[in-house]
Amino acid sequence: MSTGLRFEISIMLPNRLQELERFPGFSSGEQQLFRAWSESLQLLKIRGVAEHPFPAPCFLTPASGAEWWSGGSPNRVLLLIFFKHFASSHRLKVHIVYLGHNNGLTPSLTTQFHLQLLSRVFAEPEEARQAILYSYSYGFSGFSAVLNSTQATTLSETEEVISVFRSRMLQLHTTRSWDFMGLSLHSQMEQPSSQMHLKYGDDVIVGILDTGVWPESESFRDDPHLGPVPSSWRGTCVGGQQFDPATACNRKLIGARYYLAGFEAETGLLNTSGGAEYRSARDRVGHGTHTASTAVGAVSPNASYFGGLGRGAARGGAPRARLAVYKVCWFKDLTGRCNDADILAAFDDALHDGVHVISASLGSPPPLSPLFATSTEVGSFHAMQLGVSTVFSAGNDGPDAAMVQNVSPWGVTVAASTIDRRFPTVIALGNNASFVVSSWSY
């Protein structure tokens, strides 16, 4: 809306910009913004009515002819208002452009189409190639790219596009479970000596989307009782920092990949100094190793917690299943962070590799997002179309009781509700009295 007042809009000249960059009232970010503008400003001076966003940094003064800046303090309020408008529309963020089914196109043709579509919002094709992070071309069609809000809005209005949404950071969700569900070590015993070679999950390939894996764990050892890797497997074991495919992968752990482009586009280069993380499928957090062993861990007798607590056989629900690891979550802020763009890339590869089940113990914080506006829902939908089951965790957050994440109807969401045992703890008082109570620690 017009203010009804006439203003003189003076585009700042380069020499004035150099002075302004040194103005002590500006933050370093504001100075950087001015520095970038100073390289492209035209030496223009116009008169008009202040009713539209301005195309370049400027000051407003009454149109009576007063100087726009006479060496005193500039009108920083007006500048900051402009900064907020400009920055909100030009801030680069990772976006996911979802196109639905790939319509039977080959991966190369699908990727070529993605680049053509992305080029519509860039001046040069090379800029589009630099902006794209992933081209999803196997199980579905879409891509992730670094875009500003204007470019994202333009793509969302394109006929071929189903939706465009920001790539967000998802979070991780965190023994006796299998006995409680009836999957006992002894339920399929033909003879007592066979209990360590159960056939649960025989030749089923389970893809775990998580923080990676510790390949040295006994849960993923090369079992001589396992046959050759299923012929349907098309995946690979990707090497990296402290992860050698020759020793890490075997007939149990048959595949490993890792995904960083989305994470690094949002947070910067991965910190690998001092073992802070590993640029590979190796697990730094431990969450992925935990979830993988819970699902498909081989039977490991005489396992125990520190000091011999809870000694017994450790195993997953499907101890003869094969494991494919897709590392999409990375150590950040003392926990794991998982970027939507990376998760979708892992879904796409997993469907191409030939997994039968996908397990993902991760999700977005409340509130729930609309359907087809998260990587987990898009990826699991196309997995369902290809006959691949996806199992999610329900989440660890509220704010209300019984609230869960990952509620898409084409996935299976699992939550811990009840258990069939107690964890007693003895409390000893100063008067030598003692009480047996239930512990809160499961």
CATH number at residue 156: 3.30.70.80
Q: Are 119 and 178 part of one and the same domain?
A: no
Same domain, 262 and 314: yes
pLDDT band at 421 (very low <50, low <70, confident <90, very high): low
pLDDT in tens, 132-153: 999 999 999 999 999 999 999 9
Q: Which domain CATH number covers 215?
A: 3.40.50.200
Q: Which of 104-118, 187-201, 301-315, 388-402 has the highest mean pLDDT?
A: 104-118
Asked whether residue 333 is assigned to any structural domain, the reply reads yes
Point out the domain boundary residue: 67, 90, 113: 90
Number of structural domains, the chain?
Answer: 3
**What's the CA gap between 284 and 280, in Å, rounded?**
10
Q: What confidence score (pLDDT) does residue 91 get?
A: 85
Answer with the residue of higher pLDDT: 128 or 439.
Answer: 128
pTM for this prediction: 0.74
Q: Both 226 and 240 in a single domain?
A: yes
Query: DSSP per residue over 35-99, as a string?
Result: HHHHTT----EEEEES-S--SS-EEEEETTT--S-SSS---HHHHHHHHHHHHHHH--EEEEEEE
Indicate the residue type of 303. A
Query: What is the distance between the terminal CA atoms of the chain, rounded to a whole angstrom?
Result: 61
- Is 219 part of any domain? yes
More confident residue, 369 or 41: 369
In terms of residue numbers, what domain contains 144?
93-166
Residues 175 and 49 in one domain: no
Mean pLDDT of the chain: 79
Do 160 and 308 belong together in one domain? no
Instruction: Answer yes or no: do 154 and 219 share one domain.
Output: no
189 vs 93, more confident: 93
Span 380-396, pLDDT tens digits: 999 999 999 999 998 87
pLDDT digits (tens, 9 = 90+) for 330-379: 998 778 899 999 999 999 999 999 999 999 999 988 778 888 889 999 99
Residue type at 271 in one-letter notation? N
250: helix, strand or coil: coil
Same domain, 251 and 342: yes
Same domain for 242 and 304: yes
Assess if residue 427 is contained within a domain: no
Residue 430 lies in a domain: no
